[in-house]
A = this chain, B = another copy of it.
Amino acid sequence: MNVLIVFAHPEPMSFGRALKDRAVGALQAAGHQVEVSDLYAMGFNPVASAQDFTERRFPDALQYDREQKHATAHHAFSDDIQQEIDKLQACDMLILQFPLWWFSTPAIMKGWIDRVFVNGLVYGSGRRFDAGGMKGKRAMVSITTACYPEMVEPDGLLAHLDINLWHLQHGTLAYAGFDVLAPFAAWSIHYTTPERRSGYLDEYAKRLSGIENETPMPTHPLADFGKDWRMLPGIEPRTVGHRRPLVKPA
């Protein structure tokens, strides 16, 4: 596979960086090609604006998603966006590696999504879920966090991790058409021992060495919903968002 790792961390010596480097090694050792977008090192601009387009369909007022659609059709993206789009199109698997900040990506990575997941290619005109622009590709979220795993169990203080990541794993990656794999998490990272950190690196490398065979998390195909966008009668909800986990099993 061609694997694109999009990586964000403000500190070049971070444990997140070590995970990213280990991922590159493990994936290459398994015969994959790896491309890395290190957003902090690139000085990536996360702020979507009118400067993202070299020509405009509606020059008087910016409708960002409609200009994305026009720019997709007319190759009218700024260079920094087009370079990332090219990497995204070339990949068979996308890994988003970041420290979990407020249960989401750091702003620099949110901006990569805002500006690179473009209308007319990734989404729009019916492109979503099993008709999404990224159909056939895999994606995985890889986080470091100060959280303890017990906090993000179904009955944990913060509710299930996948509920916290729903906007990203379902609303972004699955929406775009990716087959989304279970997230990888290195927990309570401020308080781990060097041995535990080393264990996380080994665990991550081992998991990535067979990643092309992993079964993705369940998503509903569009056909499970009616014209009113509601799940059809007889369909058994099988995502964590539609089927909330049993908080207290009887």
Q: Which residues of A contact B (CB under 8 A)?
A: 10-11, 13-14, 40, 46-50, 61-66, 101-108, 110-111, 113-114, 117, 129, 146, 148, 150-151, 153-160, 163-168, 170-172, 175, 190, 220, 222, 225, 228-231, 233, 237, 239, 241-248
Known contacts A49-B10, A247-B237, A247-B243; A164/B167 CB under 8 A: yes
Interchain CB contact under 8 A, A104 and B47: no
Which residues on the B side are within 8 Å of A46 (C-beta)?
46-47, 107-108, 111
A100 to chain B, nearest CB (A): 9
Which residues on the B side are within 8 Å of A61 (C-beta)?
11, 13-14
Question: Cα distance A170–B163 when bound, in Å?
Answer: 11
Interchain CB contact under 8 A, B166 and A171: no
Q: Which residue of B lies closest to A47 (CB)?
A: B108
Interchain CB contact under 8 A, B225 and A157: yes
Interchain CB contact under 8 A, A166 and B159: yes
List 22 A-B pairs, Cβ < 8 Å.
A10-B47, A10-B49, A10-B62, A11-B61, A14-B62, A40-B47, A102-B110, A104-B168, A107-B110, A107-B111, A107-B114, A129-B157, A150-B230, A153-B230, A155-B237, A157-B229, A158-B241, A163-B241, A165-B167, A166-B167, A243-B247, A244-B246
Interchain CB contact under 8 A, A230 and B155: yes
Interchain CB contact under 8 A, B159 and A164: no
A182 to chain B, nearest CB (A): 18
Question: Cα distance A156–B226 when bound, in Å?
Answer: 9
Interchain CB contact under 8 A, A248 and B241: no
Partner of A107, one of B48, B165, B170: B48
Partner of A241, one of B13, B160, B170: B160
Most buried by B among A61, A222, A225, A248: A248
Partner of A159, one of B50, B63, B165, B242: B242
Question: Cα distance A149–B225 when bound, in Å?
Answer: 14
Question: Cα distance A197–B237 when bound, in Å?
Answer: 34
Q: Which residue of B lies closest to A245 (CB)?
A: B244
Which residues on the B side are within 8 Å of A48 (C-beta)?
10, 101, 106-107
